[in-house]
Amino acid sequence: YLHDHHAEWGDTGNFHQSTYANAAEHICPLHISGKIKDHKNVLIKWGVIKQTYNVIITYCSKLGKHWDNECCANISGVLAGESWSKYIAGNILMKPFCNKGWEYIKYLEDIFPQG
């Protein structure tokens, strides 16, 4: 929903409360169990998604750091593994992306075009 309505986001990369409320309403029919999500839940989830995206972009901006959405950081070998371990010690959100992509990266690239 937020991807389809990304023209509604403000200067800070956040959406208006009404957009979060509409997103919560949009996902309501998909509810199976647990608490029904409201605009606050959508806002929190958006914050986590945005934070993950920013961590990936920061990693990609470092000279010599590899990233693609298929192999991600493509960590293989002892030296690369040691270097990765040191890097994620201070960047724990990157840990899942050692050799696995992030399914939402293309959506976020649409919302926050680089250039």
Q: What's the pLDDT score for residue 108?
A: 92
Percent of the chain residues topping a pLDDT of 70: 96
Decide: helix, strand or coil at residue 115: coil
State whether the Cα torsion 81-87-92-94 is positive or negative: negative
Output the CA–CA distances (angstroms, integers) from residue 44 to 53, 70, 92, 114, in the order listed: 14, 27, 19, 24
Decide: helix, strand or coil at residue 15: strand
Q: What is the CA radius of gyration of the chain?
A: 17
At residue 28, φ and ψ (nearest 5 deg) are -55, -45
**Nearest alpha carbon to residue 46 among 107, 114, 113, 98:** 107
pTM for the complete prediction? 0.82
pLDDT digits (tens, 9 = 90+) for 100-113: 889 999 999 898 87
Percent of the chain residues topping a pLDDT of 90: 47
Q: What's the pLDDT score for residue 54?
A: 92
pLDDT digits (tens, 9 = 90+) for 74-102: 778 888 888 889 989 999 999 998 888 89
